[in-house]
Chains A and B, each alone.
Chain A
Amino acid sequence: MATGRPSHGRASRNGAFGNGVGPRISVRKTYKLYIGGAFPRSESGRSYLVSGADGAPLANAVRSSRKDVRDAVRAAHGAFPGWAAKTAMNRGQVLYRVAELMEGRRDQFVAEVATAEKLRDARAAEVVDRAIDRWVWYAGWADKITQVLGSSNPVAAPYFNFTIPEPTGIVGIVAPETSSLLGLVSRLAPPLVAGNTVVLLASESRPLPAITLTEVLATSDVPGGVVNVLTGRKKELVPVLAGHVDVDALDVWGVPDDLRVETEQLAADDIKRVSRRPAGVSDARFDWLDDRASERPEWIAVFLEMKTVWHPIGV
């Protein structure tokens, strides 16, 4: 069995009690939240049982509360000025390093994705490899997006006029429900590379790879608070995230259909920017392995504000 697959104590069925006769008892991981660079539990003290795609119990995940969402937004808010002010090249290098560290933990991710999504190991390996490569693809955009989306505008008067993109601010992401790692990375990287900070709500049914990713982020150069990850019930948390006035933009990809109208209405109340699944695209069937479909500069652009500057020309 690959390393890192969550184990649920079947090793103890020989009745061994650590006397050196039976197999070793594994040390289980406690899956926690990731807020402001730390790993707290929910202030509510709640959890929920997460099972693998085959129904076998895997672990208890944190069931975040309204307060946890607020704490995460506050952390994202605090981290925004520093992250947005980094040079584009530096931001690109920081995100590239996430790929480097994921590569080092590749086997752990493969095992976890295989369990969560009920994939054969070869398929899970393909998914993880693609997730790592996706960081690389988006990281490379950091110092190019301004040149591709910005412009110098030939106004019909003696003014110098140019347009540059700036990050929107705090982005709330409701991660894809089905693709627990690759889908998540594909939605997380674009707002980050643009210079936004993020509060991400992980897949409700498959949250564990997201938490393992936060362990990578915590040891990478991504500053604390730039990415904050919550687990829990979407029905409970999505409206809080969508209604929070310090969240400037919302990725509603993983919002369940029955919550969609309410979510977008809440987002409209303070003119949040909303990034949607294209019409007719289903979360469950979207092919995240398709690079053409899931590597899109438009997904960066939706979290950028265009600023246009005028100055007279004269002596």
Chain B
Amino acid sequence: MPTMPEPTSTSVVVTPDQRPNSWGFGDGQEIPWEYAPAPEARDIVTLKERYGLFINGRSVPATGGGTFVSIDPSTELPLATVAKATDVDVDKAVRAARRAQRRSWGQLSGRERAKYLFRISRILQERSREFAVLESMDSGKPIKESRDVDVPLAANHFWYYAGWADKLDYAFPGRVAKPLGVAAQIIPWNFPLLMLAWKIAPALAAGNTVVLKPASTTPLSALLFADVVQQADLPPGTVNIVTGPGEIGMHLATHPDVDKVAFTGSTEIGKKIGRGVAGSNKALTLELGGKAANVVFDDAPLDQAVEGIVNGIYFNQGEVCCAGSRLLVQESIADTLVDKLKDRLSTIRVGDPLDKNTDVGAINSKAQLEKITELVASGVAEGADLYQPACDLPERGYFFRPTLFTNVAQSHRIAREEIFGPVLSVLTFRTPDEAVEKANNTRYGLSAGVWTDKGSRILEMVSRLQAGVVWANTFNKFDPTSPFGGYKESGFGREGGMHGLHAYVRLEDR
């Protein structure tokens, strides 16, 4: 056997046990230094004291004058008072939308609709920082995310569908695409502006008018968007926004003069909406919950995989329907990968959403924080091993430590239920067949991830994973040209891409 050459005096070899503790990465040690605060200025946002409903191009108070308060989840302090719509207001909004569909928006040529949508995209770009700051204040998500992901993607979404408005003939060869009419759109609180864009852009491009109901904890970016609609001079009634509790969402979805219902939210509410519109001939698309498997094989590029896993589950506090909440790791590398993950978790910064260094912001609401806490407690009670990095949480506000469970069984609630929080469940597998079996062992089918250096294995896994989006050697990537939506109980219909247009048209013979 050849012997290793002795190190010469000129080369310095640093072995792991000689590395200084203070490096803070790669060695499982705590970060020895503090970051100085890097707060994003809030003064770019001028909050109104009161926000009205946006109906027929005007801001109006709710019938009866009801209001509710939207709070900043990172401080628990009120941000603004918002009109609480009643069924009467929803009826007015639908009437306004119908009128605009018949008389103004629905009469425009695709070419003119396109220019309006390009205008909206441009205004979103121009006012992007204002939207990003407001979004982080109202939802609790980190500013670097709202600034770099939510707002630019929302603007891009309007841009993409703007170009389709006058090219529908090319999207549906051999068919004539007609608008459905009035679309009722109900969106969640995890990506308030982005979900608004996903809903409104394709609907308007195809010639529909909309009544949008934002989530009751995150109404402000939608109401600021109403300002954009006015700036862009859209015909009154083309876009209507009604804020309030879930009940008015159900009233909107089941309104007899609504032709199309698009809902993003939990599978439970999705089923209720499905029952509500049963037998009515309304077109329906649902984008519901998920419990995505992120499958890591032993030949995966591990450091990239660690970044992808972290992005997959801790992005947006894990409040993502397509979050990679189940890590399926091949048994032979499980210990190594989990060590690396724990190490990486120690560098995640949890705190003020408006701080530019923050990785994980505030949980969106008290109710959601309680739900996460309850499910994490169930994980402990059912026998999984809990790991949370030592990090200080702000004294006020709804915060939750990035959490990792090992020793998780498929039967555990944390492996079956959508937690919608920064909680990762780690399971292991030995063979590709076992990985597929476990990955698909869920009622959901929104997304999945696969990490391996072997191309043929990627394609095999891609074809066997029952999910509407499969990220291979990456995770949680979004783009307006890329269709998004679920298999199984994660819903039906697609948003994004040409396929997203299909949800808003009726196809007729040429």
Chain A contact residues, CB within 8 Å of chain B: 148, 151, 153-157, 159, 161, 163, 166, 248, 260-265, 267-271, 273, 276, 279, 292-293, 296, 298, 301, 305-312
Contacts and interface: CB of A to CB of B under 8 A. Distances in A.
B477 interface: yes
Given A156-B156, A271-B490, 5 more contacts: A163-B482, A270-B489, A301-B502, A308-B482, A311-B458
Nearest to A302: B492
Nearest to A259: B279
Given A261-B278, A306-B468, A311-B458, A271 B491 contact: yes
Contacts of B481: 153-156, 161
B485 A271 contact: no
The 8 tightest CB contacts between A and B, nearest first, are A268-B274, A264-B278, A261-B279, A155-B479, A153-B481, A265-B278, A279-B281, A311-B472
A134 to B, nearest CB: 17
B154 to A, nearest CB: 13
Interface stretch (B66-74, B377-385, B493-501): B493-501
A123 B213 CA distance: 53
A38 to B, nearest CB: 29
A157 B477 contact: yes
B267 interface: yes
Nearest to A148: B173
Contacts of B499: 151, 163, 306
Interface string B467-510: 11111111001010111110111111010011100100001010
Most buried by A among B275, B279, B286: B279
A148 B172 CA distance: 9
Nearest to A268: B274
Counting chain A CB atoms within 10 Å of each CB, which of B270, B490, B497 scores highest? Answer: B497
Interface SS of chain A: helix, strand, loop or mixed?
mixed
Contacts, number: 117
A292 B468 contact: no
A269 B458 contact: no
Nearest to A162: B482
Interface in B162-196: 173, 175
B479 A271 contact: no
Given A153-B481, A155-B482, A293-B509, A267 B274 contact: yes
Contacts of B471: 309-310
B366 to A, nearest CB: 29
Contact of A310 (B286, B470, B498): B470
Contacts of B278: 260-265, 267-268
Contact of B507 (A148, A269, A298): A298
B494 A153 contact: no
B477 A305 contact: no
A308 B267 CA distance: 21
Nearest to B488: A271
A155 B492 CA distance: 22
A271 B492 contact: yes
11 contacts: A151-B498, A153-B497, A268-B275, A270-B489, A271-B267, A273-B492, A293-B509, A305-B468, A307-B470, A308-B482, A310-B472
Contacts of B472: 309-311
Interface residues of B, number: 46
Contacts of A153: 479, 481-483, 497
Most chain A beta carbons < 10 A, residue from B467, B468, B484, B492: B492
A292 B479 contact: no
For A156, A268, A270, A308, the residue with the greatest tally of chain B CB atoms inside 10 Å of its CB is: A308
Contacts of A301: 502
Contacts of A154: 481
B271 interface: yes
Given A292-B509, A311-B473, A260 B279 contact: yes
A95 to B, nearest CB: 21
A161 B156 CA distance: 17
A161 B489 contact: no
B462 interface: yes
A310 B468 contact: no
Interface centre among A161, A271, A296 (most CB of B within 10 A): A271
A271 B271 contact: yes
Contacts of A248: 488
B477 A310 contact: yes
Contacts of A293: 509
Nearest to B502: A301
Nearest to A290: B509
Contacts of A261: 278-279
A257 to B, nearest CB: 9
Contacts of A267: 274, 278
